[in-house]
Amino acid sequence: LFAENESYMDGGIMCENICIAAQGLGLGTCIIASVGALFADGNAEGNKWKRAWDIPENYKFLIAIAIGYPDEKPEEKPRFDDRIKVIR
């Protein structure tokens, strides 16, 4: 996800909604923030990808989402309700 300004809050909200919508379609998602280093200012490789995708130069990278079909359906893990302590 790229944006004209660095509105990380809006990017996070949009990212969450994309992931929820994907789940509703039976797709899995993985949020990948570490890709940001690729698109840091002055990174030639990142600039190459931005040009290939027709992303304006003034747009900043916010976050990436990998979307695909899950390979498996993991079993639900047991809850540890007894490990929760409420401190008042």
Write down the pLDDT at residue 81: 74
* Residue ranges making up the domain that contains 58: 2-69
Does residue 1 have a pLDDT over 80? no
Whether 79 is in a domain gets the answer no
pLDDT in tens, 10-28: 888 999 999 999 999 999 9
3-state class (DSSP) for residue 12: helix
Task: Give the number of domains in the chain.
Answer: 1
Whether 85 is in a domain gets the answer no
Long-range CB contacts for residues 39-42, cutoff 8 Å, separation at least 24 = 39/2
- Break the chain down into helix, strand, coil percent, rounded to 5: 40, 15, 45
Whether 38 is in a domain gets the answer yes
Whether 75 is in a domain gets the answer no
Which of the two residues, 22 and 84, has the higher pLDDT score? 22
Single-letter residue type at 8? Y
Distance CA 26, CA 24 (A): 5
Whether 77 is in a domain gets the answer no
pLDDT in tens, 28-81: 999 988 888 888 877 888 889 989 999 888 888 888 999 999 888 778 888 877
- 2 close to 61: Cβ distance less than 8 angstroms: yes
Whether 43 is in a domain gets the answer yes
pTM score, two decimals? 0.66
